[in-house]
Amino acid sequence: MQGAPPLILQLDGVSKIYRSGDFSVNALADVTLDIRGGEIVAIMGPSGSGKTTLLTIAGALLRPTHGRVHICGTEVTNMDESHLASIRRHKVGFVYQSFNLLEALTALENVRVVIQNGSRNGRADAMERASHLLQTFGLGHRIHSLPKRLSDGEKQRVAIVRALAKDPDLILADEPTANLDAKRGHEVMQLLGQKALELHKAVVVVSHDNRVRQFAQRVLWLEDGHLTDHPGG
């Protein structure tokens, strides 16, 4: 009998308070969340609800004020910056709203540079893997194009390839459809969902775009820093 997929992301009573002088803002309040491999979770919520804060804490970019964060069973809450960088390098892939490709690098190089950073393999291996992945995502004809020559849909596909290229267990996507039209947004989400399932990745998509819901196995709601199963709950 096959056991449950491993826990990839665990947030346990996570709060984040931003302080500025006498003012303080509770961006996240006592958030608890478990996500397993192969699971796609959509976190919906309006602007300013704390979605990006949640994503950056889950991605080992930001430390919580209270609570604990585990990624692939490793507690990252109090890790120093070099260890956090290592976790991000090996365990986490990001997909951004504004694609965030390096403008001077071609599609192939954008993927290759991330692969090389995460492995001891040489340039040739990284090139081959990057090229193969881009072809798998239907970008074989664009591998030598600079980002400025790519459409927004193509840019986001390259960004997804980059996120998957280092073979992370956790993929965190921040409003991945926000800068795409309906058709491209649908394509991108379909691709992300399909590859995540195939490769048994845990995926968290934060968005206020309702179209995202149809690709998620679980939908959560974030409002004023509180995470719930139902809107307004």
- CA dist list (Å): 82 to 54, 86, 93, 224: 21, 6, 17, 31
Q: Nearest approach, Cβ of 207 to other proteins (angstroms)? A: 13
- Window 169 to 198, contacts with other proteins (CB under 8 A): 174
Q: Does the protein bind other proteins through residue 212 (CB under 8 A)? A: no
Q: Nearest approach, Cβ of 55 to other proteins (angstroms)? A: 7
Choice from 100, 119, 131, 145 touching other proteins (CB under 8 A): 100
Phi, psi of 121 (to 5 degrees): -70, 160
Phi, psi of 49 (to 5 degrees): -85, -10
Choice from 56, 77, 131, 145 touching other proteins (CB under 8 A): 56
Choice from 22, 80, 81, 229 touching other proteins (CB under 8 A): 81
Q: Which stretch binds other proteins (CB under 8 A): 105-113, 136-144, 196-204, 215-223?
A: 105-113
Based on its alpha-carbon atoms, the radius of gyration of the chain, rounded to whole angstroms, reads 18
Q: Does the protein bind other proteins through residue 62 (CB under 8 A)? A: yes
Q: Are strands 170-174 and 202-207 parallel, antiparallel or unpaired?
A: parallel
Closer CB to other proteins, 67 or 186, in the complex: 67
The β-bridge partners of 25 are 18
Name residues whose C-beta falls within 8 Å of residue 48's C-beta, 6 or more positions apart in sequence: none
| Distance from C-alpha of 218 to C-alpha of 202, rounded to nearest angstrom | 12
Choice from 6, 73, 102, 190 touching other proteins (CB under 8 A): 102
By the 8 A CB rule, do 33 and 10 touch? yes
Closer CB to other proteins, 123 or 211, in the complex: 123
Choice from 24, 117, 135, 210 touching other proteins (CB under 8 A): 117
| Distance from C-alpha of 49 to C-alpha of 95, rounded to nearest angstrom | 19
Nearest CA to 70 among 55, 58, 85, 52? 58
Q: Nearest approach, Cβ of 164 to other proteins (angstroms)? A: 13
Binding site for other proteins (CB under 8 A): 52, 55-56, 59, 61-62, 81-82, 85-90, 92, 94, 96-98, 100, 102-105, 109, 112-114, 117-118, 162, 166, 174
